[in-house]
Amino acid sequence: QLNSTFYASTCPNVSSIVSGVIQQALQSDARIGASLLRLHFHDCFVDGCDGSILLDNSGSIQSEKDAAPNTNSTRGFDVVDNIKTALENSCPGVVSCADILAIAAEASVSLAGGPTWNVLLGRRDSTTANQAGANTSIPGPSESLSSITSKFSAVGLSTTDLVALSGAHTFGRAQCRTFSNRLYNFNGTGNPDPTLDTTYLATLQQTCPQNGSGTTVSDLDPTTADTFDNNYYSNLQNNKGLLQSDQELFSTTGASTISIVNSFSSNSSSFFQNFAQSMINMGNISPLTGSSGEIRSDCKKVNGS
C-alpha cells in the first residue's frame, strides 16, 4: 500500500529537506540520529507507524511520551518539529509526521555510515495516542528473550527482524537505570550478570556507581559509539552487550538468535541488507492510508485542537 514515490510530484525534495535538518542537528549533537531512529521504532510498535508518539497531552490525548519506555528517555522531538516546519514551508499540508519519522530513520542510519534503502511512504497521522499500549507493547531492557520475541511477533516481525533491528544499538546512548540491574546484584544473586565481560563491567561500574544518578548515559556500542556498523554483534560475542536484552540474543542457551548474531558479526553487508529489509518490515506495521487519519500541520497536535 505504501510506495517509494508517494511525494514525487507533491514534495519531490522531501528526502533532502529531512536529511539537511538532521545534518544540521548532528553538528551539535552526535547522538541525534540514534534518537530519531528510536522514535520511529517506538511509534511503529504502538498502533502502527502513525505518528502517535509525537502527540502531546491535551484534551482526550494521553501522550505516549509519558509512557514508561519513553518518559525521560525518548528525545529528538524538537528536531522532528524543525523538519516539519521546513517541509511545511516547501510543501504545505503534504508530508505526514509518521512519514517524517520513517524518512528521518533512514537518513540517520545512512548519515552514520549505515545502509541506505528506499523508504516506503504514504502513511497518514493518527488522531489518537495510546499511552497504555506504549507501556505494554514496547519491549524493555530486562525482559526475557522469549517475551521480547513475542512482542515482535505481535506486530508481525520475525526473529531475524529482532536480531537485525537490535543492531540499531550500534549507536546512541543508554542511561544507567536501564542496565544497572546487571552491575551489582543481578536477579538477587549478589553478583553481577555473569554474561558481562569483567573489564567492561568495571568500566560500567565506574560510570554507574551504586546509588549514583540513574540518568548518566553510556554508549550502547563501546567500540564505535556514533558509527552505524556491525560491531554490535562482535560486542555480543565478546560479552560486551550493554543491555540485558542485547546480550540475551547471544547468551541465551540454545536460542535461534545465536547463529544470526554470528552471521551478522562476520558479514557486514549481510547485516546492512537485513537491517534495511527489517526497517521496511517495521515501517509497514499497520499504517493509516488513503482517507484514514490526517496530515497533521503540527506533529504535536491533532488538527483543529
Residue positions annotated with a catalytic role: 42
Nearer to Ca ion, 50 or 248 (CB): 50
Which of 122, 172, 241, 283 lies at the binding interface for ligand HEM (CB under 6 A)?
172
Q: Which stretch binds Ca ion (CB under 5 A): 115-123, 131-139, 222-230, 288-296?
A: 222-230
Q: How many helices (H) and strands (E) does the chain have?
A: 12, 2
Burial of 290 per CB tally in 10 Å (0-12, 13-18, 19+): exposed
Asked whether position 139 contacts ligand HEM by CB under 6 A, the answer is yes
Return the one option of ligand HEM, Ca ion, none that residue 178 interacts with (CB less than 5 to 8 A, by type).
ligand HEM
Compute the least distance from the CB of residue 17 to ligand HEM, in Å: 22
Nearer to ligand HEM, 7 or 275 (CB): 275
Can you tell me the distance from the alpha carbon of 37 to that of 19, in angstroms, rounded to the nearest whole number?
13
Main-chain dihedrals φ then ψ at residue 268, nearest 5 degrees = -60, -40
Asked whether position 170 contacts Ca ion by CB under 5 A, the answer is yes
According to DSSP, residue 293 is labeled S
Burial of 275 per CB tally in 10 Å (0-12, 13-18, 19+): buried
Residues 23-42 that bind ligand HEM (CB under 6 A): 31, 34-35, 37-38, 41
What are the grid coordinates assigned to 154, written together?
A: 505481535
Which residues, 6 or more positions from 189, have their beta carbon under 8 angstroms from its beta carbon? none
What are the grid coordinates assigned to 246, written together?
A: 542485547
Nearer to ligand HEM, 38 or 240 (CB): 38
Return the one option of ligand HEM, Ca ion, none that residue 221 interacts with (CB less than 5 to 8 A, by type).
Ca ion
Can you tell me the distance from the alpha carbon of 36 to that of 266, in angstroms, rounded to the nearest whole number?
27
Return the one option of Ca ion, ligand HEM, none that residue 231 interacts with (CB less than 5 to 8 A, by type).
Ca ion
Sequence length of the chain is 305
Binding residue count for ligand HEM, defined by CB under 6 A: 25
Can you tell me the distance from the alpha carbon of 208 to that of 205, in angstroms, rounded to the nearest whole number?
5
| 4-40 as b/e: b if 16+ CB within 10 A | eebbeeebeebbebbbebbeebbeeeebbbbbbbbbb
Compute the least distance from the CB of residue 201 to Ca ion, in Å: 20
Asked whether position 166 contacts ligand HEM by CB under 6 A, the answer is yes
Binding positions for Ca ion, rule: CB under 5 A: 43, 46-47, 50, 52, 170, 221, 224, 227, 229, 231
Binding positions for ligand HEM, rule: CB under 6 A: 31, 34-35, 37-38, 41, 73, 75, 139-141, 148, 162, 165-166, 168-169, 172-175, 178, 220, 243, 245
